């Protein structure tokens, strides 16, 4: 049986895979396993209202209090769970996925994502049918929904203060912003402008069916065009729930999560706030990150793919900085989860301290050529046991020797197998990735 929880909560096509009944039970489970007071936020998807109503019903049916934050970035919920002393949080979002998808993910009372074993207990509770009828309250013991009217304001103020307290501002900085028709439309421009920047923004409107569509952190072309047209010195792009960020330099070059982490790690070391002189990333990080940080006297610890595993490593070993190439960055001094806005403002603060442009700062890391191909398959779990695929991977690894590597993994949220190859040249990376992807598609494709 497929596990209900993926790498980032329960996710699927809304009203098909992620039904109101399931959302209701996940709401009930929040009260059972986290506590009576649950903060709930969502992104801008059309299905958000439907699933939010079901989650509220689940929470209140267990006698819980649902604190409604409305549309707010995922990291805003993680922050406010702590700020408002809630017992846990729920975010209704499918992050960077297309508009027809939605998801439900939990935070505990400290704003951290739940470990696998707690998710497994929640799944067992739901599979068993939820609470027994006699356990449900009635009369004045039924729960209520209370609005949190200043939810976005509290989150914005936190991001602004985190930079202002360092004695840094963005006066004179022109920034291009792509909100991706998502939750950051309510927060990022305001925070940047309060720090003194001039902000030229696109995709701050939303209708529920345009989130992440040909825009935001998964499609940087609109941002590149905006940077060029506006003369901005840097561009910022978020995904739908703004737990990640990607950037574009004034020259139009991509600044990905690895590059941001390199700049942040070096800046934090110089300021004496990088515990163990160590940063955390995943097995998907570019070889250029480990090389750049190694030259700066900083170790890189690698984990499984997924920001939850990065965070687990950080908490276990006392590290303060971790991230992914996709733009998920966790700065534990400031928030308990990936935070696109906080990452952006801290990166720009580091750039200011260096006295460089964003492009010049990011050049501390040279990216090794990398090719990533997503193959849509019928059974993503079967790829790791497929003999023909294993042979294709072995052939590529033997051909590249020590000058490259292959990473093959099933997506945690979609019916995809991700084929990633790094090599000495872009031509080698592309040819090997295409060869492996062709075998995956032939063996397991739809």
* Catalytic center residues: 95
Quick one: residue 137, left, alpha or beta (phi over 0 = left, psi -120 to 50 = alpha)? beta
The dihedral of CA 359, 322, 284, 293: what is its sign? positive
The answer for residues whose C-beta is within 8 angstroms of residue 161's C-beta and 6 or more apart is none
Q: Which two tokens stand for residue 365?
A: 């890391």
| Alpha-carbon torsion (343, 348, 352, 355), positive or negative | positive
Phi first, then psi, for residue 305 (nearest 5°) are -70, 135
> By the 8 A CB rule, do 337 and 75 touch?
yes
Neighbours of 425 (CB within 10 A): 12
Nearest to 47 by CA among 8, 91, 15, 12: 15
Backbone angles phi, psi at 200, to 5 degrees: -110, 115
Say if residues 343 and 245 touch (Cβ distance below 8 Å).
yes
For residues 389 and 439, the answer to whether their CB atoms sit within 8 Å is yes
Task: Count H helices and E strands in the chain, helices first.
Answer: 14, 18
| Cβ-contact 55, 104 below 8 angstroms | yes
Spatial distance between the Cα atoms of 55 and 181, rounded to a whole number of angstroms? 23
Q: How many CB atoms lie within 10 A of CB 63?
A: 17
Pairing, β 234-238 against β 245-249: antiparallel
E strand spans, 8-54: 10-13, 37-42
Query: Which residues are bridge partners to 282 per DSSP?
Result: 303
Return the structure tokens found at 63. 């006698």
Q: How far apart are CA 253 and CA 259, in angstroms?
A: 11
Angstrom CA distances, 134 to 14, 65, 244, stand at: 30, 20, 43
User: Helices 287-295 & 257-270, crossing angle to 10 degrees?
Assistant: 10
For 25, 357, 388, 389, the CA distances from 407, given in Å and listed in that order, are 36, 33, 16, 12
């Amino acid at each position: 049986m497929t596990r209900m929880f993926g790498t980032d909560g329960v996710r699927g096509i809304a009203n098909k895979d992620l039904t109101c009944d399931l959302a209701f039970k996940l709401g009930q489970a929040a009260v059972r396993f986290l506590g009576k007071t649950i903060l709930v936020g969502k992104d801008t998807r059309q299905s958000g209202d439907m699933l939010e109503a079901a989650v509220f019903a689940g929470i209140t049916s267990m006698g819980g209090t649902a604190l409604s934050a409305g549309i707010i970035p995922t990291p805003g919920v993680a922050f406010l769970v702590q700020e408002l002393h809630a017992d846990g949080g729920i975010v209704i979002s499918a992050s960077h996925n297309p508009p027809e998808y939605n998801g439900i993910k939990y935070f505990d009372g400290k704003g951290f994502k739940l470990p696998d074993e707690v998710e497994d207990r929640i799944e067992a509770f739901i599979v068993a049918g939820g609470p027994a009828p006699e356990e449900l309250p009635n009369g004045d013991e039924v729960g209520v929904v209370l609005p949190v009217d200043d939810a976005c304001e509290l989150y914005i103020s936190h991001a602004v203060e985190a930079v202002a307290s360092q004695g840094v501002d963005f006066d004179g900085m022109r920034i291009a912003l792509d909100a991706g028709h998502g939750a950051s439309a309510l927060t990022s421009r305001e925070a940047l402008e309060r720090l003194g920047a001039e902000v030229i923004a696109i995709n701050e409107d939303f209708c529920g069916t345009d989130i992440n569509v040909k825009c935001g952190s998964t499609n940087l072309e609109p941002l590149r065009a905006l940077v060029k047209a506006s003369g901005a010195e840097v561009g910022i792009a978020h995904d739908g729930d703004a737990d990640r960020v990607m950037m574009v330099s004034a020259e139009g070059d991509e600044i990905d999560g690895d590059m941001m982490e390199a700049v942040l790690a070096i800046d934090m070391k110089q300021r004496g706030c990088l515990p163990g002189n160590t940063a955390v990333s995943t097995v998907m990080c570019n070889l250029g990150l480990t090389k750049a940080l190694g030259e700066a006297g900083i170790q890189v610890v690698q984990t499984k793919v997924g920001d939850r595993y990065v965070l687990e490593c950080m908490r276990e070993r006392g590290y303060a900085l971790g991230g992914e190439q996709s733009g998920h960055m966790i700065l534990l001094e400031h928030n308990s989860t990936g935070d696109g806005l906080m990452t952006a403002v801290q990166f720009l603060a580091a750039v200011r301290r260096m006295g460089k442009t964003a492009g010049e700062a990011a050049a501390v890391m040279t990216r090794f050529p990398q090719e990533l191909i997503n193959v849509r398959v019928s059974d993503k779990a079967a790829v790791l046991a497929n003999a023909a695929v294993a042979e294709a991977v072995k052939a590529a690894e033997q051909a590249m020797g020590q000058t490259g590597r292959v990473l093959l993994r099933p997506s945690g949220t979609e019916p995809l197998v991700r084929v990633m190859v790094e090599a000495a040249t872009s031509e080698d990376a592309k040819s090997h990735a295409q060869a492996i992807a062709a075998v995956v598609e032939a063996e397991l494709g739809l």
